[in-house]
Amino acid sequence: MGKEKKMQAGTAAELPVQDMIDKAIKMLGRAYTPYSHWKVGAALLDADGKIWGGCNIENAAFTPTNCAERTAFFKAVSHGVRRFTAIVVVGGHEGELQDYCAPCGVCRQVMMEFCDPKKFMVILAKNREEYRIQTLEELLPQGFGPADLGQQDELEEPEA
């Protein structure tokens, strides 16, 4: 089967999709999943073109577990980055990629905090050749974010 893509003209075509998929797959090896054995890797592209990696990190108490997508976002935000273009998500049992691995609801909500849902691209990949590209708005219709509170200007990057 060939590439399964859903693209928007002028945006997705310019993404470094292959590099992002490679980074997300690499991040699977860093996942800490002694309980579920479900490894997830993420690669987050910021507006300046830097790719931030993330992996899921489990905890015996389960609630403190952090998803790969949030790990990537929090890593970038902790370095002062506030503008993002796209994210790749891959995952599977023991890191074996067999199907698409979509972000959970909490991760989608974190994306809403930092991304324009009409423009931010979410790429779900099975491998380098098979992937889907959707907007955050397609994954989280009628999402609630900073704009609903009149706070969109808060996304400005902080001074170093």
Positions marked active-site: 69
Alpha-carbon distance of 82 to 148, in angstroms, equals 18
HEC per residue, 1-37: CCCCCCCCCCCHHHCCHHHHHHHHHHHHCCCECCCCC
**Residue 14 neighbours by CB under 8 Å, 6+ apart:** none
Alpha-carbon distance of 99 to 105, in angstroms, equals 18
Structure tokens, 30:
């860093």
